[in-house]
Amino acid sequence: MARTITEIKDLLRNNHGFSEEDLSQKKGVLSKKLKDLEVEDVILDSAEEAEETLEDSTTEEETPSMDSSGWADYVMSKFESDELDQGNPTCDGLRRVTESLIGPIVSRKVSVIQAPNKENLGTATVTCAVEVLNNIPNHLLYNVTISEEDAADVNKFNTQKPYYLHATATAATRAEARALRKMLRLKKVVAVEELSGEIEEDFLDSWKPSDPVQEEQVSLLDIVCQRCDVDVMEYINSGENDYKTIYELDRNKAQSMIQHINKIQQGKVERPVGIGIYVSDWRDK
């Protein structure tokens, strides 16, 4: 009676005490063992046929070509469970699989294009270039160093907390993951580090134009500047921006100025250096 490979293995393990090492013996050795033990309930037409059936089941998986349609699935099968998060590979996993399937990583160069600051809304932009020694025998560039490079931006609008608090380091890891994906030709797979997750801030709201300064705010600035004997236009231009008229202010900036000049009036902060005294016709200038 013909049996499946799984049935043969189960019988040998459970009924005859075969180990995994026994089942992986070279041609001839297993056949002799089967005959010596008179394992007739496992033999198909002969001991040799049983051995070849088992041998075929343990044949090493053939590596597909990098240009084949099965390459991506083959690569994904090489990740360990702790290197995947809902099917997305980690950067650490991408490093290991790259070295396992292609060759050793010989160089990894990170370049910071821009560091996070107030003007760029805390955005870090980083590039990463990875060089790998190609050890794939049938590859056109066998034994040649091949390279891939990619970039990544990280800020609070595209990266979840706490990772955006370390924007440059996170961008470097994200850029490396992208470069390694390109090296492995994983076109439809996104690395864990590239996922944005749930973003706390609303990107669109952060970019929408601010409301213009309100007339009530202009009147309040006038009153407080008069009390502090401060020239209104010189005061609003004592910061980082230059305003030709007070109506170039937005609502939030005007509110900040009102709060600041109130602190001057209360003696909590010093008045800016070099500002002239209050003039009532400042709106006409």
Contact 153, 172 (CB under 8 A): no
161 and 267 both lie in a single domain: no
| Average pLDDT of span 64-87 | 92
Residue 187 maps to a domain: yes
- Quick one: 159 and 111 in the same domain? yes
Residues 96 and 163 placed together within one structural domain of the fold: yes
- Decide if 144 is inside a domain: yes
Domain boundary among 129, 161, 194: 194
In tens, the pLDDT along 141-169 reads 999 999 999 999 999 888 888 888 899 99
> 63 in a domain, yes or no?
no
Shared-domain flag, residues 48 and 103: no
Same domain membership, residue 261 and residue 185 = no
Whether the pLDDT of residue 237 is over 70: the answer is yes
Provide the phi-psi class of 28: left if phi over 0, else alpha when psi is between -120 and 50, else beta.
Answer: left
Rounded to two decimals, what is the model's pTM? 0.55
The pLDDT value given to residue 47 = 46
Predicted confidence band of residue 59 (pLDDT cuts 50, 70, 90): very low
Asked if 75 and 130 sit in the same domain, the reply is yes
Q: Is the pLDDT of residue 28 over 60?
A: no
188 and 230, same domain (yes or no): no
Average confidence (pLDDT) over 32-47: 52
Measured on CA atoms in the order 251, 256, 261, 263, is the torsion positive or negative? positive
Query: What's the pLDDT at 40?
Result: 54
What pLDDT is stored for residue 169 in this prediction?
95
Contacts of 248 (CB under 8 A, 6+ apart): none
pLDDT computed for residue 138 by the predictor: 84
- Give domain status of residue 199, yes or no: no
Does the residue 261 lie in any domain?
yes
Whether 209 is covered by a domain: the verdict is no
Residue 61 is predicted with a pLDDT of: 55
Q: What is the total count of domains within the chain?
A: 3
Q: Is the pLDDT of residue 22 over 90?
A: no
Residue 242 in domain: yes
Q: Is 235 exposed, middle or buried (0-12, 13-18, 19+ CB in 10 A)?
A: buried
Q: Give the residue numbers spanning the domain of 43.
A: 5-57
pLDDT digits (tens, 9 = 90+) for 250-284: 888 888 899 898 888 888 888 888 899 999 999 87
104 with 176, same domain: the answer is yes
Question: 155-204: per-residue pLDDT in tens?
Answer: 988 888 888 889 999 999 999 999 999 999 998 889 999 887 666 555 54
Rounded mean pLDDT of the chain? 82
